[in-house]
Chains A and B, each alone.
Chain A
Amino acid sequence: MSDDPAPVPGAPSGGARERIMVAALRCVERDGVRGFSLEDVAAEAGVSRTTVYRHFPEGRSQLVQETATWEVGRFWSRIATAVAEQPTLEDRLVEGLLMGTRMIRRSRIMANLMDPDLDELVSALRPAEPLVHTVIADYLRALLEDEAAAGRLRPGTDPAEAADYLTRMILSVLGSPAGVDLTDAEATRDLVRRQFLAGIVVPPSGK
């Protein structure tokens, strides 16, 4: 499973709207969040300026915001797809954190961000935050309900509450590793065992 920032297989493709957002991402990679115009995006996408405005009538800010939200959605769906094969909840969390970290490190957008760019990106992403939290928590809740049915959760664990807790930890750790080496599988597994799952899953016997 590649985690290159390439289009998600099976994602709708070819539409002008998506082509414009892909072009916007390329422009951001090249010129920064603040460094491109709608003309640049139109040229990159091979469409007219009018077409860009038809899809994003509020102009640049709408394009930046929706592209950022769309890219965040792709980021998480790539991770969900990649970890689907992992045998345990712990493995999924570990692999997801490792992969998320690799993708962030590799992202030319993140690497090139200057502070004013970062501020604009923060503003652009803010409206999507509750949605991101909800999507991740719903995904984890379904996993936790399966785990509960299999008898692998501590008695009395509330899957919804546990999913909310895990979502907070995932978002916090990926955003600010603060000393944890998320490129190292052992360090990441140790973190997941201690801080993510210790209160949620039944401790492995003999441990």
Chain B
Amino acid sequence: MTVIAGGRTGTGPVDAAAVALPALPPAGSNEAKVLDAVLACVARWGMQKTTIDDVARESGLSRATVYRLFPGGKPEMLRSAVLADVARLGGELTGELARATDLEDCLVRGLLAAGRHLSEDAALAFLLEHEPASVEAHLAFDRLDGLFATAAAVVGPSLAPHLAEPGRAGEVAVWAARLLVSYFLHPSPAVDLTVEDDVRRLVRTHLLPGLVPGPSDNHPTPLTTRSTGT
């Protein structure tokens, strides 16, 4: 969602605050039930049509309980559900990256896990299909800066040990997040971030050469338009 561009604010490095991610409510708690129910309802009917009653019914809780947990009503519930989803992705990524053996493995694991997470997100899929403005408005212009700052804060520390310049971990995380968002919003026939081979070629072709110090004569098989075989 970047046709013109943003940068509406200030000068110099944009220090968008990282979005503060909430601790995930314990599984099985009423709060977790409500947040799961919100995502289930949005996946079925979208954001606009989902009502508090729907969420109460889906979660098996009373309307009063739902309101007590989320006195701000629908906007607060939606926001909490989205943040919980981002926090869940952050947790998945941290776990995934902890198992990485080197920089390439780290980048491939991270992009693949994030790409699969997004592609399996039924609520997000419904919104992109039926209420794209509601998603893109959050990803438009410089509104993405907050999300990128979050990526730097959450994923950066896992990347740092694998980098020749650990101080650049945050910007590398943002770089990967840019590609994630771009390929998610504007799919490419050649690069599918849920397919390991595609992710690995992307990482080898464009990311590693910018990260591995020295003259990289180890340039791998270049990324070319994948023939789909049909």
Contacts and interface: CB of A to CB of B under 8 A. Distances in A.
Interface of A: 71-72, 75, 100-101, 104-105, 110-111, 113, 118-119, 122-123, 125-126, 128-130, 132-133, 154-158, 160-161, 164-165, 168-169, 171-184, 193-195, 198-200, 203, 207
Given A122-B133, A123-B133, A126-B133, A179 B14 contact: yes
A113 B8 contact: yes
Contact of B221 (A125, A156, A174, A175): A156
Contacts of B223: 158, 161, 165
Given A122-B140, A165-B206, A199-B210, A182 B7 contact: yes
B1 A122 contact: yes
A177 B225 contact: no
Given A128-B3, A173-B178, A198 B224 contact: no
B136 A126 contact: yes
Contacts of A182: 7
A158 B4 contact: no
Interface of B: 1-8, 11-16, 132-133, 136-137, 140-145, 148-149, 152, 170-171, 174-175, 178-179, 181-183, 186, 188, 190, 205-211, 215-216, 219, 221-225
Contacts of A101: 5, 7
Residue in B5, B133, B148, B149 whose Cβ sees the most chain A Cβ within 10 Å: B5
A110 B140 CA distance: 13
A184 B211 CA distance: 21
Contact of B3 (A132, A160, A169, A198): A132
Contacts of B149: 178-179
B215 A203 contact: yes
Nearest to B11: A183
Contact of A169 (B6, B140, B145, B178): B178
A104 B5 contact: yes
Given A158-B223, A168-B178, A129 B142 contact: no
